[in-house]
Amino acid sequence: MIVLDEYRAELKKDVHWFEDRILKRFLRYVAFPTTSNRQATEIPSTPGQRVFAEALAAELRSLGISQVEVDDHSYVYSCLPASEGLSRKVPPLGLVAHLDTASDAPGENVKPRVHEHYDGKPIVLEAGVVLHPQDSPQLLSYKGRTIITSDGTTLLGSDDKAGIAEIITAFEYFTLHPDEPHGKLELVFTPDEETGRGTNEFPRDKLASSFCLTLDGGGDGTIEAECFDAYNVNVTIKGKSIHLGDARGRLVNAVTLLGELLSMLPAAESPEATDGRYGYYAPIEATSTIEEATVSILIRDFEERECLRRVKAIKACAKALETLYPGAVCNVKSEKQYSNMFPYIKKEKRAFALIKEAIQMSGIAPRETIIRGGTDGARLSETGIPTPNLFDGGFNYHSRKEWAALDAMVRACRTVICLAQLWTRD
C-alpha cells in the first residue's frame, strides 16, 4: 500500500469528520440482519433487507435530500441535483452498493468490535476465531490505525455496508458543502446481490447515469474492471429405495451417487486450489435422501469457453453415473448468472483516467486488479451501463474473519467525492 505524500496536507482537512461519520454509520448498519436467501424466489429474499432499505431512505431524507424512493422490491434510489454554477452540462454519475450480506457465514446479531491503534498482533475473537497477520497480511498496513471486526460469531457485513456508509457520507458531504462542484449524483442500493439476482428488478427507468461505480470490495486503492463469467449448475439425482435388508442388486442410493459425482470434480479446479485467473467448480449446497439428491455447483472463470467446458464436464459425469448405476436418473440444468464485464468497460478510457486520479487525490496509489467474483456491475454493464468496482475498505468477505480498515473506508469516500468533482471537467 503506497500512501502519496503529496496529498498528506490536504487529507488532514476534515479527516476526523469523515472518520466519525463513516464509523458511526457503519456500526449502525451492520446491526441490521440482511442475510439473503439463495432458495427464495422473491426479491428481496429476506424481510430484513426491506427494513434496512426503509431505514436508509429515512436517513437520506433527514440529510435534506428530497428525492428518495424505495420501490416494491426494496431498491433504494436517490439523487443529488448538480451543483449550481457549472459551466457545462455534466453527465450524471451513478453509485451502487448492495443491502444484503452473504449466507456463507452467520449474519444475525452482529456485534462489531472497534480496534483502535491496532498493534499488529493476532486478534483473538470469540468462538476460537483468530485474525492473524499471517493469514491477512494487509492488516500490517494498518498498524497503529483503526480496524473493525465482528466478535467472531458472525461475519461483519462490510460487504457491502461499508460501501453504503461511504456513499451516504459522500452525499452528506455535498449537502454540507453546496459550493463544491459536482454533476448530478445518483445512488442505488440493491437487494440480493449475493444471490446473483441483485439487478433482476433494477430500476433502470429511474437511472439517468450512463456510467456507474459499485463500491463493493477490493484492496485499498483498487479499481476493478474485470470479473468472472458465472454459471450455476443444478444437478438432481434420482435413486430407487428399498428396505436395506433387501437392497442387494435393487437399491440405487442417491446419497452415494452424489458423493461419486462430487468426487469426479477435479480437486485442482476448486476455489481452495486456484487463484489469479484460474477458474473453478464450487459445490455450495446439497440435500440428499436415498431417493433424491440435489447439488448446486457454481462455475467461475474469466473465459466463458472455460465455463462452458466445465458445464459440459458435469453433464458427462452425470451421464457416467447413469451408466454405472442402472436405474439412476440424473438431470442437469445450467443457468448463466453474469458475464465478465471487461468487454463493456474497456472503452471507458476517460472515466478510468478520472477514477485513478480521484484515487490518487484520496491519498493512495491506484491499482487496477481483477475480481475473483462478481458484482451488480457485471449485470449493469451487460445492459449498457459500464460499471467498474471501487474498493470499500473491507477484507475477508463472507467469513467470521471479515474486517474493515477505517482509513481505507475514508479513502473510498474521498475518492467518490473527488471523482464527482473531476467529473465536471471539460
Q: Report which residue type is found at 74.
A: S
Radius of gyration of the chain (CA): 23
Strand order in the sheet with 329-338: 280-288, 292-301, 229-238, 329-338
Active site residue 382: no
pLDDT at 8 over 70: no
Of 92 and 218, the one with more pLDDT:
92
Cell of 332: 442437469
Report the C-alpha gap between 177 and 175 in whole angstroms: 6
pLDDT bin (cut points 50, 70, 90) of residue 2 is low
The pTM of the full predicted model, rounded to 2 decimals, is: 0.92
Active site residue 20: no
Q: Report which residue type is found at 271.
A: P
Mean of pLDDT values over 76-86: 95
- Which one from 160, 193, 220, 301 is the annotated catalytic residue? 193
- Neighbouring C-alpha atoms within 13 Å toward the C-beta of 270: 11
Q: Could you give the domains of the chain?
A: 5-227+340-422 (3.40.630.10), 229-337 (3.30.70.360)
pLDDT bin (cut points 50, 70, 90) of residue 40 is very high
For residue 149, what is the enclosing H or E element? strand 147-149
Q: At what angle do helices 158-176 and 47-62 cross, to 10 degrees?
A: 20
pLDDT of residue 272: 97
- Neighbouring C-alpha atoms within 13 Å toward the C-beta of 97: 29
pLDDT of residue 344: 94
Report the C-alpha gap between 278 and 293 in whole angstroms: 29
Tell me, what DSSP letter sits at residue 240? B
Q: Report which residue type is found at 101.
A: T
pLDDT digits (tens, 9 = 90+) for 291-339: 999 999 999 999 999 999 999 999 999 999 999 999 999 999 999 999 9
pLDDT digits (tens, 9 = 90+) for 261-284: 999 999 999 999 999 999 999 999
Strand order in the sheet with 403-405: 113-115, 147-149, 403-405, 394-395
Which residues on neighbouring strands pair with residue 223, listed in sequence order?
368, 390
Mean of pLDDT values over 112-128: 97
